[in-house]
Amino acid sequence: MKTKKFAICCNNKIQNSVEVRDLLEKILSGKKIDFESFDIDNLKYGCDFAFVIGGDGTILKSARFFAKSETPVFGINLGRLGFLSQAPRGELFEAVEKILEEKFYIDERIMLQSGENLALNDFVIKGNSHGRTARLSLKINGKAVCDYLADGLIISTPTGSTAYGLSAGGPVLAPNLNAFAIVPICPHTLTARPLVIPDTETVTVSMSECENGFVVSTDGQNFYECKSDIDIKKASCSAKLALLEDSDFYTILRGKLHWGMSPAKI
C-alpha cells in the first residue's frame, strides 16, 4: 500500500494492551513494514497511518491528535463498548491484512472547537457549584435561543451522539450528517428538549445568576474552568477514522448498543 510508515499507539493502562502491541509489532515486522510505537500520552507526528490499541477513550485522544496532520487512525478494541473501534483483539491478523491490502476507507468526522480545545465527541458544560443546578443561557449565531435550568449542557457531534448525549436523552445522529446536537442534562423543566442544528452555526453558552463560572470537559478527558461565555463551533480540521470496507454504522449501532432489538424470550 502507499502508506510509508505506521504508528502503533497503545494505552498501557488497559489490560492486555502491551501483549496486543507486541503481537502487532511482530506482524508488521514480519511483513517488513516500517513502524514506530508510542504510548498514548506521548504521541508524535510523522506517520501515515496509526493503529490505536485501547478503548474508545484511547481512540478519541489519538484521533484528536492526528487530525491536525490528517493521519487516519484504526482502532483495535480492548475496552468495553468499543463503538469507534473496528477490530476486536481476536481479529487482529485479519484486520491488519485488510489494512495492508487497502480494503478500508477513510471516514472524515467533524469535530468541535472552543479556543484551542478540540472535541470529537462533545463539549460538556456544567456549573462550578457541585450538587446544584445551573442556569445556562444559549445563543446561536449571537441570537438568544433559550435558558436552561439543568445540571449541564452537552454540545455533541454526530460521532458523540452515541456517547454522553445518548444517555442524556439526545438523538442518535448518523456520522456523516453536518450537524450538532445540543442536549440539556437533567433539565428542571418539561419543555427543554434536545436541539439539532447545522454545523455552520456558532453556539454560545453563558451562565447567569452564578459567579463561579463553568467547568468544561472535552470528550470527557480534558477538564478546565471558564469564567466567561463559551463559543463552540465546527473545528477547522476533522478526524480521520479508518473503517473496513464491510463496516456499516447501522450494523454497529445494532450490534454494539442492541438498537431496536426485541427483549430476549424467557
Q: Read off the pLDDT of residues 59-90 as tens digits, 9 standing for 90 and up.
A: 999 999 999 999 999 999 886 666 787 787 88
Catalytic residue among 22, 39, 56, 122: 56
**pTM: predicted TM-score of the whole model, two decimal places:** 0.90
Long-range contacts for 94-98 (Cβ within 8 Å, ≥24 apart)?
A: 95/244, 96/24, 96/27, 96/28, 96/51, 98/244, 98/245
In which residue ranges of the chain is pLDDT below 50? 266
Contact 185, 154 (CB under 8 A): yes
Domains of the chain (ranges; CATH) run 6-110+238-257 (3.40.50.10330), 112-234 (2.60.200.30)
Q: State residue 2's pLDDT score.
A: 63
Under 8 Å between Cβ of 125 and 155: yes
The pLDDT value given to residue 3: 63
- Long-range CB pairs of 235-238 (<8 Å, 24+ gap) are 235/67, 235/110, 235/111, 235/112, 235/113, 235/118, 236/113, 237/67, 237/68, 237/70, 237/111, 237/118, 238/67, 238/108, 238/109, 238/110, 238/111
Sheet with strand 122-127: strands edge to edge: 195-198, 179-185, 152-156, 122-127, 214-218, 222-226
Look up 229 and say whether it is catalytic. no
Whole-number pLDDT of residue 266: 45
Predicted pLDDT at 139: 96
